[in-house]
């Protein structure tokens, strides 16, 4: 049990019988000025430690490091660097033919210059090889291919140095720079720019919404302060992690979104409860004590459930997913820590001044927490429970229908189409897709290892050439006891036929060891890695969530309801992802190019993040319902009161978090846009449909059985569960509040 729960001391402070501070309260409020000064110093250090973090992050990470395709890719990079070109120069001859002598002469000068660049190897081109795949079908464009050596960061730095010397007009030709290394570099730069813009959009709008929620400008600034501390601290953590492991640049988006969103959620809950206690006559220290025993306990449990959902991504081998776990766990714990340590210190110092600069004073009378607070939510809860079967069935069916498009999901890889249509590397690859025969750069490579003769190589080449999905086989290129073949599929680089061809190539007998790589092979291996580990991730989330919610409520049924209803709340998000981003509906309005598939890791990421946020709101609601049920033992009244006191708060928090996610969703990178807009939809559906309608309806249908647990589990909960034991004066005060709430609801 945490100190938040145990700190329910009975000693008096001040007057009026307000409960005295418990252990945790004394710890965090003993020297509030010193606490805040230390926080300021640590935040300043985090700014220094986290500076330049974006420049150290990678833009890949979708492949399984232990997969056959990864092994083959690394072996080919080492032994045959020309087999894995990551730099493409699209040479456009305008109205001339690429075979025109002047065009060919200029192209050869570019080739010689590129081959002499430091860090560039394996330069090849149409003008050297004459391969039809490197020449556009209209004869006006052709390709120069090369490999920039080194890790992601090194290759990106090399590209930045050499690209300006090749991009643009060169005599009779115009050159554009593309290829995987250019896509990664442009994606990284775009994400950094978009993140800055998203922060500039989200922060002022969030501040306005917080002022509307609290009325007080002082109270509104507190959640933003907690969020900034969480974001800056997480940047420092990520910077430190880059010294030991790869971290994806996409994780910065989650840092900003969750840093602001969860910090605002937690601070909203704590500040609202603190003001509520002040309004009943408690002094600031007593109000902080009750707040930490109630709202503080809820924040602690909420942070644990969100962290558990994000930690599940650590079971996957792709560093893209693991990066979100690193960033998510860090930002959740820092947001909760700031809310439970720094915020109480600030509230003790502010006291009643937390209500200062009340910008709504002219529009209302009274003070926060006055009679009838949330009466509309109470009336809605009563209505839902009176028509519980109707609301339960209607909302469940509606959510299932919204999720049906996900049954048609097609998984693919992230490519240049993640970038805006005008991005140079996207333009290059689109020209290749539209105008070049086959799929240049999208073929499969077969690495052969072991002693073999030319007849054996020829026989193997004949066998794979006969496969139904094969357009053309080139090679082998032999180096000692290693060789490689290039296989061009008949269809697109990652379509169903290409993926089937990967399996056929791996199953083809050979007198030497073979391993297959290429875009389709990476996709096949990534899908296999996710499918292999997904049951473990889901099982981990479900098991730990069930345990945490049981410890919070002491019920067997409520944890099951929480997991099932949370999962149901995500259906709209998954359906919208396929309908919008895979099928391309609204692509013009939202400004993206649909690749016709969903990147394999995105649904996993969105599930973990959205499930965690759903549990965040679920814990807020369930803890208040449990608090009321423990005090009164009236199930229906507990549900009504819980929704009355938290419905507006949850909705406000969801709207603010949705604003942050929509700001992230303005990104020009499709995956980031999908993540932001998808999570925003999931959050709103959870708060406005599941928490407001489905949860009270289901809890009404299950009745008092909702709180049942077998005797052994009851004893376990009594020993290890989190319970709140408030002083009698606090209980009496709350009973008077409930009587006024009932009167307001009837009114």
Over range 599-620, report the average pLDDT.
89
- Per the model's pLDDT, the better-predicted residue between 60 and 396 turns out to be 396
Predicted local confidence at residue 726, as pLDDT: 47
Residue 22, domain member (yes or no)? yes
Residues 199 and 173 in one domain: no
What was the pLDDT predicted at 251?
A: 86
Decide if 3 is inside a domain. Answer: no
What DSSP string describes 387-426?
Answer: THHHHHHHHHHHHHHHHGGGGG--EE---GGGS-TTSHHH
* Contacts (Cβ under 8 Å, ≥6 apart) of 227: 259, 260, 261, 263, 264, 267, 335
What does DSSP assign to residue 183?
Answer: H
Q: Taking the alpha carbons of 366, 371, 372, 373 in that order, is the dihedral positive or negative? A: positive
What's the pLDDT at 85? 86
> Which tokens is 558 given?
């409520």
Looking at the fold, whether 483 and 344 belong to one and the same domain comes out as no
483 and 618 part of one domain: no
Listed residue (443, 420, 417) closest to 430, CA to CA:
417
pLDDT tens for 503-526 read 999 999 999 999 999 888 999 999
Regarding whether 568 and 698 lie in a shared domain, the answer is yes
Secondary structure class of 81 (helix, strand, coil): helix
- Do 631 and 592 fall into the same domain? yes
- Using pLDDT thresholds of 50, 70 and 90, give the confidence band for residue 53: confident
CATH number of domain containing 481: 3.30.70.100
Asked which of 203-212, 233-242, 568-577 is least confident by mean pLDDT, the reply is 203-212
Q: What's the confidence (pLDDT) of residue 742?
A: 52
Position 373 in a domain:
no
Q: Could you tell me if 219 and 280 are in contact, meaning their C-beta atoms sit under 8 angstroms apart? A: no
For residues 244 and 107, state if they share a domain.
no
**pLDDT given for residue 440 in this prediction:** 59
Q: Is residue 726 part of a domain?
A: yes
- Position 502 scores a pLDDT of 94
Query: For residue 89, what is the enclosing H or E element?
Result: strand 87-92
Q: Note the pTM of the prediction, 2 decimals.
A: 0.84
Rounded distance between C-alpha atoms, residue 170 and residue 34, angstroms:
64
* Domain end point (choices 138, 160, 178): 178
Does 357 score more than 70 pLDDT?
no
* Each residue's pLDDT tens digit, 210-261: 888 777 778 888 888 888 888 899 999 998 898 888 888 888 888 888 888 8
Range of the domain at 153: 86-178
Residue 726 or 292, more confident: 292
Please list the residues that pair with 91 across neighbouring strands.
Answer: 142, 175
Query: For residue 627, is pLDDT > 70?
Result: yes
164 and 199 fall within a common domain: no
CA 745 to chain centroid:
40
CATH code: domain of residue 130: 3.30.70
Q: How far apart are alpha carbons 249 and 418 in whole angstroms?
A: 14
On whether both 229 and 325 belong to a single domain, the answer is yes
Q: With 60 as the cut, is the pLDDT of residue 173 above it?
A: yes
Q: What is the mean pLDDT of the chain?
A: 85
Asked whether residue 732 carries a pLDDT value surpassing 70, the answer given is no
Residue 618 near residue 301 (C-beta atoms within 8 A): no
116-134 pLDDT, tens per residue? 999 998 898 999 888 888 8
| Residue that is last in its domain, among 500, 523, 546 | 523
Q: Which of 86-90, 224-228, 554-558 has the lowest mean pLDDT?
A: 224-228
Q: Is residue 582 part of a domain?
A: yes
pLDDT band for position 23 (cuts 50, 70, 90): low
Residue 545 placed within a domain: no
pLDDT top residue among 683 and 415? 683
| CA angle centred on 240, ends 235 and 246, rounded to 5° | 95
pLDDT at residue 18 in the model: 36
Region 78-101: mean pLDDT is 89
Strands 120-125 and 411-412: unpaired
Task: Write out pLDDT tens, residues 144-159.
Answer: 999 898 887 888 889 9
Report the candidate in 301, 189, 324, 341 with the shortest Cα–Cα distance to residue 547.
Answer: 301
pLDDT confidence band for 747 (50 / 70 / 90): very low
CATH number of the domain bearing residue 708: 1.20.1640.10
Please name which of 547, 564, 544, 563 lies closest in space to residue 555, comparing C-alpha atoms. Answer: 547
pLDDT band per the 50, 70, 90 thresholds, residue 743: low
Helix or strand run (H / E) with residue 67: none
Closest CA to 104 of 146, 148, 139, 147: 139
Neighbours of 561 (CB within 10 A): 19
Domain count, the chain: 3
Q: Are residues 711 and 599 part of one domain? A: yes
| Confidence class for position 295, pLDDT limits 50, 70, 90 | confident
Could you tell me if 44 and 151 lie in one domain?
no
DSSP collapsed to 3 states, 547-559: HHHHHHHCCCHHH
303 in a domain, yes or no?
yes
Cα separation, 581 vs 597, whole angstroms: 8
> End of a domain among 150, 178, 206?
178
- Residue 378 falls inside a structural domain: no
> How does DSSP classify residue 513?
E
The predicted pLDDT at position 438 comes to 65
499 near 528, Cβ under 8 Å? no
Closest CA to 534 of 599, 615, 603: 603
- What's phi and psi for 410, nearest 5 deg? -125, 130
State percent of the chain over pLDDT 90.
38
Q: Which pLDDT belongs to residue 370?
A: 38
**Orientation angle between helical segments 424-435 and 180-214, nearest 10 degrees:** 130
> What pLDDT digit, counting tens, does each position of 659-696 carry?
999 999 999 999 899 999 999 999 999 999 999 999 99
Q: Assign 728 a pLDDT band (cuts: 50, 70, 90).
A: very low
Look at 274-283, 312-321, 460-469, 553-562 and tell me which has the smallest mean pLDDT.
Answer: 274-283
Position 176 pLDDT exceeds 60: yes
Residue in 83, 147, 84 with CA at minimum distance from that of residue 117: 147
CA atoms within a 13 Å half-sphere pointing along the CA-CB vector of 584: 7
CB-based burial label for 42 (10 Å; 0-12, 13-18, 19+): middle
pLDDT, average across residues 382-392: 94
Query: Which band of pLDDT confidence, cut at 50, 70 and 90, is reported for residue 35?
Result: confident
Predicted local distance difference test score (pLDDT) of residue 150:
81
Query: 557: Cβ–Cβ under 8 A, 6 or more apart, which residues?
Result: 702, 705, 706, 707, 708
pLDDT band at 731 (very low <50, low <70, confident <90, very high): very low
199 has pLDDT over 70: yes
Q: Are residues 456 and 515 in the same domain?
A: yes
Task: Look at residue 19 and tell me whether its pLDDT is greater than 60.
Answer: no
Angle in degrees, 0-180, between the axes of helices 635-665 and 728-746, rounded to the nearest 10: 80
Q: Are residues 167 and 199 part of one domain?
A: no
pLDDT band at 413 (very low <50, low <70, confident <90, very high): confident
């Amino acid at each position: 049990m945490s100190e938040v729960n145990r700190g329910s001391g009975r000693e008096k402070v001040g007057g009026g019988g307000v409960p005295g501070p418990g252990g945790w309260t004394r710890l965090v409020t003993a020297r509030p000025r010193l606490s805040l000064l230390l926080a300021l110093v640590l935040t300043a250090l985090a700014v220094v430690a986290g500076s330049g973090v974006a420049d150290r992050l990678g833009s890949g990470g979708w492949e399984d490091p232990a997969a056959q395709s990864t092994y083959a890719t690394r072996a080919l990079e080492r032994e045959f660097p020309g087999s894995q070109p990551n730099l493409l120069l699209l040479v456009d001859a305008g109205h001339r033919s690429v075979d025109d002598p002047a065009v060919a002469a200029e192209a050869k000068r570019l080739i010689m210059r590129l081959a002499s660049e430091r860090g560039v190897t394996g330069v090849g081109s149409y003008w050297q090889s004459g391969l039809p795949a490197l020449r556009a079908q209209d004869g006006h464009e052709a390709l120069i291919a090369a490999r920039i050596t080194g890790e992601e960061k090194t290759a990106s730095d090399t590209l930045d140095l050499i690209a300006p010397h090749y991009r643009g007009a060169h005599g009779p030709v115009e050159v554009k720079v593309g290829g995987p290394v250019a896509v990664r570099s442009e994606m990284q730069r775009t994400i950094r720019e978009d993140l800055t813009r998203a922060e500039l959009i989200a922060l002022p709008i969030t501040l306005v919404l917080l002022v509307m929620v609290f009325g007080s400008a002082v109270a509104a600034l507190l959640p933003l302060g907690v969020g900034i501390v969480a974001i800056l601290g997480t940047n420092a953590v990520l910077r430190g992690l880059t010294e030991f492991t790869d971290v994806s640049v996409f994780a910065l988006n989650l840092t900003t979104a969750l840093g602001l969103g969860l910090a605002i959620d937690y601070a909203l809950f704590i500040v609202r409860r603190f003001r509520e206690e002040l309004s009943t006559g408690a002094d600031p220290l007593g109000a902080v004590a009750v707040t930490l025993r109630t709202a503080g306990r809820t924040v602690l449990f909420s942070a644990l459930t969100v962290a558990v959902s994000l930690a599940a991504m650590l079971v996957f081998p792709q560093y893209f997913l693991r990066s979100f776990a690193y960033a998510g766990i860090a930002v959740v714990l820092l947001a909760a820590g700031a809310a439970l340590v720094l915020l109480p210190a600030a509230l003790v110092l502010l006291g009643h001044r937390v209500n200062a600069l009340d910008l709504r004073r002219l529009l209302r009378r009274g003070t926060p927490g006055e009679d009838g607070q949330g009466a509309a939510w109470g009336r809605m809860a009563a209505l839902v429970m009176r028509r519980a079967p109707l609301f339960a069935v209607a909302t469940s069916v509606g959510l299932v229908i919204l999720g049906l498009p996900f049954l048609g999901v097609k998984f693919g890889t992230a490519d240049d189409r993640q970038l805006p249509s005008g991005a140079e590397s996207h333009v290059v690859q689109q020209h290749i897709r539209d105008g070049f025969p086959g799929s240049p750069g999208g073929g499969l490579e077969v690495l052969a290892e072991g002693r073999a003769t030319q007849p054996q190589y020829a026989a193997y080449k004949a066998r794979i050439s006969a496969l139904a999905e094969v357009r053309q086989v080139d090679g082998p290129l032999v180096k000692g006891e290693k060789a490689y073949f290039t296989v061009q599929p008949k269809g697109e680089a990652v379509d169903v036929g290409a993926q089937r061809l990967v399996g056929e190539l791996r199953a083809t007998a050979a007198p030497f060891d073979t391993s297959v790589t290429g875009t389709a092979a990476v996709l096949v291996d990534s899908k296999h890695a996710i499918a292999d580990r997904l049951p473990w991730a889901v099982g981990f989330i479900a098991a730990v969530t069930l345990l945490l919610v049981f410890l919070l409520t002491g019920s067997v049924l409520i944890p099951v309801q929480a997991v099932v209803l949370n999962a149901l709340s995500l259906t709209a998000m998954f359906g919208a992802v396929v309908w919008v981003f895979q099928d391309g509906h609204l692509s013009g309005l939202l400004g993206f190019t649909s690749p016709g598939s969903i990147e394999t890791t995105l649904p996993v990421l969105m599930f973990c993040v959205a499930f965690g946020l759903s549990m965040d709101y679920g814990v807020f609601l369930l803890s208040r319902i449990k608090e009321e049920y423990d005090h009164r033992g009236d199930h229906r009244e507990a549900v009504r009161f819980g929704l009355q006191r938290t419905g507006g708060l949850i909705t406000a928090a969801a709207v603010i978090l949705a604003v942050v996610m929509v700001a992230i969703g303005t990104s020009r990178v499709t995956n980031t846009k999908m993540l932001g807009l998808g999570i925003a939809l999931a959050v709103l559906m959870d708060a406005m449909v599941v928490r407001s309608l489905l949860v009270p309806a289901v809890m009404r249908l299950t009745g008092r059985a909702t709180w049942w647990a077998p005797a052994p589990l009851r004893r376990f909960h009594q020993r290890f569960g989190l319970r709140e034991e408030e002083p009698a004066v606090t209980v009496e005060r709350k009973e008077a509040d409930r009587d006024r709430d009932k009167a307001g609801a009837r009114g």
